[in-house]
Amino acid sequence: MSDQSLQTLGEFIIEKQDDFQYSTGELSRLLSAIRLASKVVNREVNKAGIADILGKVGNTNIQGEDQQKLDVLANEIFITALSQREVVCGIASEESDDFIDIKCGPNGDLSKYVVLIDPLDGSSNIDVNVSVGTIFSIYRRISEPGTPVIKEDFLQKGTEQIAAGYVVYGSSTMIVYTTGNGVNGFTLDPSLGTYYLSHPNMKFPRKGKIYSINEGNYIKFPQGVKNYLKYCQMMEGDRPYTSRYIGSLVSDFHRNMIKGGIYIYPSYANAPNGKLRLLYECNPMAFLAEQAGGKASDGFTRILEIEPTELHQRVPFFCGSIEMVEKAEEFMRMDAIKE
């Protein structure tokens, strides 16, 4: 099939605009801003070996993690693209201590949307040429338009998301997103600088054969997780399953959605609340997973139902094919009952 016969991301956004209950064109412009920023970040990622953008900046972010040069660059690119389009009133980034209030025009900001973003997920892998990504989540503000945004605009449950998605910068660059009407993937043609619909109506297989977890931390895992891993490795029926762990959430999620699998980042001794951020990583991925027929929980509770209390809140994360997540939850419950 030639590129000319494929639908572009821009065409798709316009065509599906009426599916969105608040169809004003703002959401379309917002998604277009993300599309533009992703192309710029893709260009920088692909220059990583020849430009001075590898390595650490020398600073740490709000989570106490070393910031990579590309973390900072990607953060600036997305904030600039979103703020200059006059389509968002606020941005919260995993790389920033606090949210950013954005003013648009002389009468203050009248936009209805806030964006939460992880500008470069898996950036510690950049130096070794492993796939990285961007994760974004969009909410309708709860404060009055025209007034400054408030923290509560960002501290909304995942069920309130009106769009979410990710960009994966890998062997090809893709945008995968949902507005609550299924999940669709678009691949960038670098020769034209255009995203084309390549993966319509993406779905998790109900059951997969891949489990993705950093088994190097096994000794620190909750007993329920240890028991589930033993189950995955047992020679019985369609098991043992295959272990695949890249260390970039976007990449692990993307592979498991296509092939069938479960991603787990549990709590453990050094991270009693888990490591992944609820607002920047877990909520958008949970929204995508559910829209693709999968499931996401903290081992006990549906991720999208968790009430956020802080911008950089962390939670354990079990996400993927529905039968695999439910089996993992079963082991977690059994261990909790024993305790």
* Binding site feature residues: 94, 118, 120-124, 214, 245, 275, 281
**Strand ranges, E, within the chain:** 56-60, 66-68, 90-93, 100-101, 113-121, 132-140, 161-169, 173-178, 184-189, 194-199, 210-212, 242-243, 261-265, 295-297, 317-320
* Buried-exposed string 145-179: b where 16+ CB fall within 10 A, e elsewhere: eeeebbeebbbbbbeebbbbbbbbbbeebbbbbbb
| Number of Cβ within a 10 Å radius of residue 67 | 18
Dig out the tokens for 156 from the structure. Answer: 């909304």
Which of 71, 116, 41 shows the shortest CA–CA distance to 284? 116
Rounded to whole angstroms, the Cα distance separating 149 from 41 reads: 27
**Cis preceding-peptide flag for 240 (omega within 30 of 0):** yes
Burial class of residue 121 in the structure, from the number of CB atoms within 10 Å of its CB (0-12 exposed, 13-18 middle, 19+ buried): buried
Rounded to whole angstroms, the Cα distance separating 238 from 127 reads: 37
Q: Which residue has the tokens 């945008």?
A: 175
Q: Residue 240: which residues within 8 A CB-CB, separation 6 or more?
A: 232, 233, 234
Q: Residue 100: which residues within 8 A CB-CB, separation 6 or more?
A: 79, 83, 90, 91, 92, 93
How far is CA 147 from its chain centroid? Answer: 28
Could you tell me which residues are annotated as the binding site for substrate?
121-124, 214, 245, 275
Could you tell me which residues are annotated as the binding site for Mg(2+)?
94, 118, 120-121, 281
Rounded to whole angstroms, the Cα distance separating 149 from 100 reads: 8
How far is CA 281 from its chain centroid? Answer: 5
